[in-house]
């Protein structure tokens, strides 16, 4: 995992450099970009009594100061250009327990594992960009 200050996002490829976000032919791209709230990560790691860098979760974006909607179909605008549509809850995988036993279960309540999204509009995002719900 690589922590970046800015990234390019596109409808076809998700986040530049992350092959998992690439839309395959015939796919709807339901998991192009994953987002997780800083507070949720901190709550999960506090529940198991450990401090773990957020990137170990392997989410694409860490969101701070914004409560991610838990409603599929909700569209989020990040910065001036990027629009992501929430598709479903990002369930934590067994890899979380490989990091620390109990972490996966600590991430299960209230979408703590984050949200999966599809890219509706691409562009550049950067640390500090405003996130808002599109109406």
pLDDT value for 130 = 97
pLDDT value for 20 = 86
CATH classification at residue 105: 2.40.33.20
| pTM score | 0.93
- What is the residue-averaged pLDDT of the chain? 94
| Cα dihedral 112→1→65→130 (10° resolution) | -130
pLDDT value for 77 = 98
Domain, as residue range, for 127: 6-133
Q: Is the pLDDT of residue 94 over 80?
A: yes
1 belongs to a structural domain: no
List pLDDT tens digits, range 22-45: 988 888 889 999 999 999 999 999
Pair 113, 101: CB distance under 8 Å:
no
Domain count for the chain: 1
Burial of 90 (0-12, 13-18, 19+ CB in 10 A): buried
Strand partners, 37: 63
């Amino acid at each position: 995992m690589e922590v970046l200050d800015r990234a390019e996002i596109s409808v076809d490829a998700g986040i530049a450099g992350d092959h998992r976000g690439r839309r395959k032919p015939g796919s709807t791209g339901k998991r192009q970009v994953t987002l997780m709230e800083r507070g949720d990560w901190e709550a999960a790691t506090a529940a198991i009594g450990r401090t773990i860098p957020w990137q170990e979760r392997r989410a694409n974006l860490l969101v701070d100061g914004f409560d991610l909607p838990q409603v599929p179909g909700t569209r989020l605008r990040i910065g001036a250009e990027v629009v992501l549509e929430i598709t479903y809850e990002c369930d934590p995988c067994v890899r979380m327990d490989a990091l620390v036993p109990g972490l996966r279960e600590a991430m299960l309540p209230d979408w703590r594992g984050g949200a999966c999204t599809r890219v509706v509009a691409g562009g550049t995002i950067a640390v500090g960009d405003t996130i808002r719900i599109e109406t």
